[in-house]
Structures are given as structure tokens and as C-alpha cells.
């Protein structure tokens, strides 16, 4: 399976779906997106309504993934948890990508003291372990979904900034950039219309890989009670609620853990496919 793309060399065939690894990655990601978008129509149960006649029941025809300690359908809550995980990943990665790319491109193009100030700040952020920094931010600001998104975006910011700076340092010395500079085009025009399109591919690849990391970090925060608060269904707080029932109802941890595993696997495989697609050597 192939797709058509337009490049500077004209029309070419891009084997973005050609490998089994890429096909599996796209399949898992699209399945997660489909579940998140159509969760209200895929299950007859409300995600937060308790059913005290069906507490901790195992998988059955009525409840394929069983029920939790309040009788809520686990499959329904996993579907609604996909919405939270994908929203957190999208919001945090997109915001950190745009801000990080802007800071990195400005630092790489301007050089001098501008480069030193921006990159030293990024180095300070990057020096902290990512999970501990996210925990510190959410602990200071308070547990909420918005603060979790902010924490994950801050953690990912130096990655995009450093990558954008490295790519800008390469692109700014190329002939077509020097030609635009000689013709009198300003820095803003060169950054937005010439450098940005040429440094975008590696940033997109990095973003797809960090999307998976954002889902895991959100699960950490929710597991520790610093993400979305109950009764909002998230995969992380479902795992936290399952701790006390691992012997009695192991399905509570099994299915939410598998949801995290398969979604993260899908984005990692998709990131590998995008990396191979944009790599000129392949």
C-alpha cells in the first residue's frame, strides 16, 4: 500500500504503509482514535454510573472486560480513557512542538547571546528527570488535567528546541537561504517560509515518538493522583484503583494496562515508519 506525496522533485511514491511494522502502527493508532471519537456509541453503559449489583464481576457477555469495585463497566471506561490519553498527548506534544521549534529555530538562526540564553534555559529544564519534573510541576500547581498537560509540555520542550536548533544550524548555511538573505528578505520571512518547512520532518517524527511518551507520563500522573481527578476515567487512575483488587479481580489491571501498552506500541511503530519515510538514505 502506498501514498502519493508532492516534493521538490515532483510526484513520487512514498511507501509509508509498505512494511508490516508501519501497517501495524497505523492500525493501532487509528483504532485508538476511532475508540476515542465514537466511545459514546460503542457501549451502552455510562462511564461513571455505579451498579452495586455487579461489583467486581469478571468478563462476561454483558460486560466483556468485567466491572470494577463500583460496578462500572471496564470496557466503557477504557474507551472513555482513550479520549483523555489522546487529548493529553495531542495537546501537550503540539504545544511543546510549536514553542520548542520556534525557540530552537530562533536560537539557531540568531546565534550569539540569543542562542546562549535560550539554550541554557533548555539545558536547565533538560537536566531534570522528565517524570520527576512532571511530578514537581503538578504537585506545585495542583492535580488536574490541564496542569498535567502543562507539565508534559514543559518536559518535552527542550527536546524540540534542541532538535530545531540543530536542524536550523544546518539549513541556514545552505545556498537558497543565503540567496534570500542577499535579496533583502528579513529574518522572520526566512524563518517562517524557508527554514521552518525544511526542519519540519524530523520534528514531526520526534513528535510522534513523544506522543507515546506523553501517554505514559499522563498514566504516571493519574496513577499517583496528580492527573485527571475521579470520576473521570483515565487508564492511569484505573490502574491505581485496581491495586487493592489484584488477587480478587486481576482483570481490572490487565485490560487498562493492555490499553496503555497497545496505544504506546502503535505510536512507537508509527514514529519508526515516519522516520524511515523521511530518511533520504532509505
pLDDT of 5 > 80? The answer is no
Q: How far apart are CA 131 and CA 135, in angstroms?
A: 6
pLDDT of 6 > 50? The answer is no
Average pLDDT over residues 155-177: 88
In the chain, pLDDT over 70 holds for what percent of residues?
92
Q: Which of 17-26, 44-53, 214-223 has the lowest mean pLDDT?
A: 17-26
Place 18 in a pLDDT band, splitting at 50, 70 and 90: low
Contacts of 3 (CB under 8 A, 6+ apart): 13, 14, 16, 17
Superfamily of chain region 27-49+66-278: MetI-like (1.10.3720.10)
pTM of the model: 0.85
Contacts of 279 (CB under 8 A, 6+ apart): none
Place 169 in a pLDDT band, splitting at 50, 70 and 90: confident
pLDDT value for 274: 79
**Are 234 and 227 a contacting pair, CB within 8 Å?**
yes
Q: Which of 33-37, 88-92, 229-233, 272-276 has the lowest mean pLDDT?
A: 272-276
pLDDT value for 129: 86
Contacts of 245 (CB under 8 A, 6+ apart): 56, 69, 252
Place 265 in a pLDDT band, splitting at 50, 70 and 90: very high
**Are 88 and 267 a contacting pair, CB within 8 Å?**
no
> Domain residues of the chain, as ranges?
27-49+66-278
pLDDT value for 279: 63
pLDDT value for 22: 80
Place 120 in a pLDDT band, splitting at 50, 70 and 90: very high
pLDDT value for 53: 84
Q: What is the mean pLDDT of the chain?
A: 85
Place 13 in a pLDDT band, splitting at 50, 70 and 90: very low
Q: Before 231, cis peptide (omega within 30)?
A: yes
pLDDT value for 255: 92
pLDDT of 212 > 60? The answer is yes
Q: How far apart are CA 59 and CA 62, in angstroms?
A: 8
Q: What is the 3-state secondary structure (H, E, C) of the chain?
A: CCEEEEECCEEEEECCCCCHHHHHHHHHHHHHHHHHHCHHHHCCCCCCCCCCCCCCCCCCCCCCCCECCCCCEHHHHHHHHHHHHHHHHHHHHHHHHHHHHHHHHHHHHHCHHHHHHHHHHHHHHHHCCHHHHHHHHHHHHCCCHHHHHHHHHHHHHHHHHHHHHHHHHHHCCCHHHHHHHHCCCCHHHHHHHHHHHHHHHHHHHHHHHHHHHHHHHHHHHHHCCCCCCCCCCCHHHHHHHHHHHCCCCCHHHHHHHHHHHHHHHHHHHHHHHHHHHHCCCC
Cα dihedral across residues 152, 157, 158, 159: positive or negative: positive
Average pLDDT over residues 231-244: 88
| pLDDT per position as a tens digit, 136-149 | 999 899 888 899 99
pLDDT value for 7: 43
Amino acid at each position: 500500500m502506498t501514498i502519493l506525496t508532492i516534493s521538490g522533485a515532483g510526484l513520487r511514491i512514498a511507501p509509508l504503509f509498505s512494511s508490516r511494522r508501519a501497517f501495524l502502527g497505523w492500525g493501532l493508532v487509528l483504532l485508538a482514535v476511532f475508540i476515542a471519537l465514537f466511545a459514546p456509541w460503542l457501549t451502552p453503559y455510562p462511564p461513571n454510573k455505579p451498579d452495586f449489583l455487579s461489583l467486581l464481576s469478571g468478563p462476561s457477555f454483558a460486560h466483556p472486560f468485567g466491572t470494577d469495585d463500583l460496578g462500572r463497566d471496564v470496557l466503557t471506561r477504557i474507551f472513555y480513557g482513550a479520549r483523555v490519553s489522546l487529548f493529553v498527548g495531542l495537546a501537550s506534544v503540539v504545544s511543546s512542538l510549536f514553542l520548542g521549534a520556534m525557540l530552537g529555530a530562533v536560537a539557531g538562526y540568531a546565534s550569539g547571546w540569543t542562542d546562549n540564553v535560550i539554550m541554557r534555559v533548555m539545558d536547565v529544564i533538560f537536566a531534570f528527570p522528565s517524570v520527576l519534573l512532571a511530578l514537581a510541576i503538578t504537585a506545585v500547581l495542583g492535580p488536574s488535567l490541564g496542569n498535567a498537560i502543562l507539565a508534559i509540555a514543559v518536559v518535552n520542550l527542550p527536546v524540540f528546541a534542541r532538535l530545531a536548533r540543530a536542524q536550523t544550524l544546518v539549513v541556514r548555511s545552505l545556498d537558497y537561504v543565503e540567496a534570500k538573505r542577499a535579496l533583502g528578505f528579513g529574518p522572520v520571512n526566512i524563518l517562517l517560509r524557508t527554514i521552518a518547512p525544511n526542519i519540519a520532518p524530523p520534528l514531526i517524527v520526534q513528535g510522534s515518538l513523544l506522543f507515546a511518551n506523553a501517554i505514559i507520563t499522563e498514566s504516571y500522573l493519574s496513577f499517583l493522583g496528580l492527573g485527571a481527578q475521579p470520576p473521570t476515567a483515565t487508564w492511569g487512575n484505573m490502574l491505581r484503583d485496581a491495586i487493592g483488587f489484584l488477587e480478587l479481580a486481576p482483570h481490572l489491571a490487565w485490560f487498562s494496562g493492555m490499553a496503555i501498552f497497545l496505544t504506546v506500541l502503535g505510536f512507537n511503530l508509527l514514529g519508526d515508519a515516519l522516520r524511515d519515510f523521511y530518511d533520504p538514505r532509505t
